[in-house]
């Protein structure tokens, strides 16, 4: 079974631009979560989607948004990029339980390394 894939793997943008990152979960998984990892703040939860609905959101400004498609693929978008947005963005998928909390193991992709100049 193919793992979680993220594209692109590396990205360089300048301040003020916007960026879209993509995540394809493991086949059959319906829950996709996004995280930001920086040396100073560690791993921080951005949001989680299940069946195209955002079920949970972390403490990030509205410049960070996401969506999930009917095939469970997910995208996250960051608008008006700031230098502090430079980070490794990780996506994780789990099988999920319809209508309930997921108790399943999360499987992570390799991440997208975003550098903002």
Partner 1 sequence: KQEVTQIPAALSVPEGENLVLNCSFTDSAIYNLQWFRQDPGKGLTSLLLIQSSQREQTSGRLNASLDKSSGRSTLYIAASQPGDSATYLCAVGDSGGYQKVTFGTGTKLQVIP
The CB-of-1 to partner 1 minimum distance in angstroms stands at 14
Q: Which of 44, 18, 26, 22 is nearest to 106 (CA)?
A: 26
For binding to partner 1 (CB under 8 A), which residues are involved?
Answer: 4, 31, 33, 35, 42-45, 48, 50, 55-56, 58, 90, 92, 94, 101-111, 113
Phi, psi of 25 (to 5 degrees): -75, 170
Report residue 85 CA to chain centroid gap.
Answer: 13
Q: What is the spatial distance between Cα 25 and Cα 105, in angstroms, rounded to a whole number?
A: 13
Task: Pick between residue 9 and residue 15 the one whose CB is nearest to partner 1.
Answer: 9
36: which 2 tokens? Answer: 């930001």
The CB-of-3 to partner 1 minimum distance in angstroms stands at 9
The CB-of-112 to partner 1 minimum distance in angstroms stands at 10
Computed on alpha carbons and rounded to an integer, the radius of gyration of the chain in Å comes to 14
The CB-of-94 to partner 1 minimum distance in angstroms stands at 7
């Amino acid at each position: 079974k193919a793992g979680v894939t993220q594209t692109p793997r590396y990205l360089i943008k300048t301040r003020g631009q916007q960026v879209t990152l993509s995540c394809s979960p493991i086949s059959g998984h319906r829950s996709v979560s996004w995280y930001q990892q920086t040396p100073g703040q560690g791993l921080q939860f951005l949001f989680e989607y299940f069946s195209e609905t955002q079920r949970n959101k972390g403490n990030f400004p509205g410049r960070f948004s996401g969506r999930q498609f009917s095939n469970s693929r997910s995208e996250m978008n960051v608008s008006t990029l700031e230098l502090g947005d430079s980070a490794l963005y990780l996506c994780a998928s789990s099988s999920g339980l319809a209508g309930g909390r997921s108790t399943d193991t999360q499987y992570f992709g390799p991440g997208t390394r975003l550098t903002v100049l």
